[in-house]
Structure 1
Amino acid sequence: MTDSDQERELLEVTLDIWHPECWGIASTDEVGSGLVGHGAAVDGRSGYERCTIYGDSREHVEQAIDVAYESPFIRTIRQVEDAVPHYGRQSLIGRTAQDVFIEYDATEGMGAAFLSQGFVLNSSYRIENGLETWELLVYTTRSSFERTLDDIRKERDADITLTRLSPASSPSPVTSRHRQQELTPRQREALTVARKRGYYEWPRAVSVQDLATELDVSKATFLEHLRNAEAKLLGDGH
């Protein structure tokens, strides 16, 4: 079947991505921080993005920002001082977080690659543990989408794994993986440590207070993250 035989449709796409020389991947992999991106814009050979860098401490976040300064592809990085949350305020995504505005070489960033091919960000993208996850919308045919994805792989020397492809007009099947992607990093952290330490075993191998102490948060805060994670996985979260 050729493109002329197919109808264009609005597709929802989720992609897991690794590509070389990405400062966001480098910082999350080497420093252990995380990043949430809020979109991109392209003007000529420059790409622009606002993103939130989060970590366990102010020093942790600053280390991640230093990685950005060292990247040969970052032209400008500015902290957005009125962003929320600020240093010292506990956030849903990390103990401390900082918003930054970045200008980079548009021939290198994934955001610029997607925008130039007609993709639209369908949610904030995120980078954790050295891997980018993008949720996108694109209006195209299936065969054209596959070719475009191959072109981006070659152009950016990227490993791109398609984890979801569905028409935007139809209800999305809610899978365990999809629900896990809806967790905030703090919720995922609480759930992971609870599983590893035997909280769900019977009899329980660890107390809530022990888990909260391990993550350096209050018992109430830990339970809030854990219960919200459980609710989302059971399909009752927001």
Structure 2
Amino acid sequence: MAESKREKELLNLSLEVWHPDCWGIVSTAEAGSGLVGHGAAVEGNSAYERCTIYGESHEHVTQAIEVAHELSFINHIEPIGGAASETAVPAAIGHATQDVFIEYVANEGIGSAFLTRGVLVDSSYRIEDGVETWNLLAHTSRESLGRLLDEIRDDRDADISVTKISPASEPIRPPKPGRTELLTPRQREAVNLARERGYYNWPREVTARQLAAELDVSKTTFLEHLRKAEAKLMSR
């Protein structure tokens, strides 16, 4: 039975999403970078997005683009505005950024699953540490919204967690940035692993060399990530 106007409400929701074969998750995980998506459109079997890829260095950003080039479901990816920039980049994002235009097979992306079901992408979305964070706007009932998310889970083999849902009429109170939000993905990975493995315990339960081997990087590179992360956290 069709929903009445009274049953529907305008809802803000925030989701954490993982799904297989996501170009953004694959490319950023391999390069140690992150991604912010700014806009999307769907036409037929193709989806289009403008994104900002960011990382600690020009190499992290370009590697993420190269990985995306090689993925079978990416039809086209093209930098916007020249080479990756390492100037005037907010510290909370990274030291280098590159805007890109990308075209990919629509049924391989989670964004198109929302768009084709009438759910609006509200502001940007982010990809870090293998998880997509989406802010959405939906005009529907909560019951129908639950069914819609279940459909997407089944259709895209996706893990979707609702982290927030509220009427859109409520004032928006953006969360205060947490300390770890200031870190790049590689820095966050290094400091979290160090804490989990007892690197900061006394006596230390693991060496920097062992942690570097676990992340498949050199000891020098690991310590560079760790020291930069520590400096950012202490400066807060």
With the length of structure 1 as denominator, give the TM-score of the two structures: 0.74
The residue aligned with 1:41 is 41
Q: Contact 2:46/2:105 (CA < 8 Å) preserved in 1?
A: yes
In structure 2, do the counterparts of structure 1 residues 91 and 184 end up closer, same or farther at CA, with 3 Å as the change threshold? farther
Q: Contact 2:10/2:137 (CA < 8 Å) preserved in 1?
A: yes
RMSD: 3.3
Q: Does 1:91 align with 2:104?
A: no
Q: CA deviation at 1:181?
A: 7.2
Q: CA deviation at 1:31?
A: 2.0
The residue aligned with 1:179 is 176
Q: Contact 1:187/1:226 (CA < 8 Å) preserved in 2?
A: no
Letter in 1 for 2:121: L
Q: Secondary structure at the match of 1:26?
A: helix
Q: CA deviation at 1:32?
A: 1.2
Q: CA deviation at 1:120?
A: 1.0
Letter in 1 for 2:66: D
With the length of structure 2 as denominator, give the TM-score of the two structures: 0.74
Cα offsets for 1:51-94 (capped at 9, x unmatched): 000111111111111111111111000000259xx423141111
Matched ranges for 1:73-152 at <5 A: 73-81=73-81, 86-92=84-90, 93-152=93-152
The residue aligned with 1:56 is 56
Distance 2:78 2:5 in 1: 48
Q: CA deviation at 1:30?
A: 2.5
In structure 2, do the counterparts of structure 1 residues 69 and 82 end up closer, same or farther at CA, with 3 Å as the change threshold? closer
Q: Contact 1:39/1:50 (CA < 8 Å) preserved in 2?
A: yes
Distance 2:51 2:142 in 1: 30
The residue aligned with 1:170 is 170
The residue aligned with 1:204 is none
Matched ranges for 1:223-234 at <5 A: 226-227=235-236
In structure 2, do the counterparts of structure 1 residues 65 and 171 end up closer, same or farther at CA, with 3 Å as the change threshold? same
Q: CA deviation at 1:145?
A: 0.4
Q: Contact 1:3/1:143 (CA < 8 Å) preserved in 2?
A: no
Where does the alignment leave 5 or more consecutive residues of structure 1 unmatched? 199-210, 228-238
Where does the alignment leave 5 or more consecutive residues of structure 2 unmatched? 201-223
In structure 2, do the counterparts of structure 1 residues 65 and 115 end up closer, same or farther at CA, with 3 Å as the change threshold? same
Task: State the percentage of identical aligned residues.
Answer: 51
Q: Contact 1:77/1:102 (CA < 8 Å) preserved in 2?
A: yes
Letter in 2 for 1:215: K
Q: Contact 1:51/1:100 (CA < 8 Å) preserved in 2?
A: yes
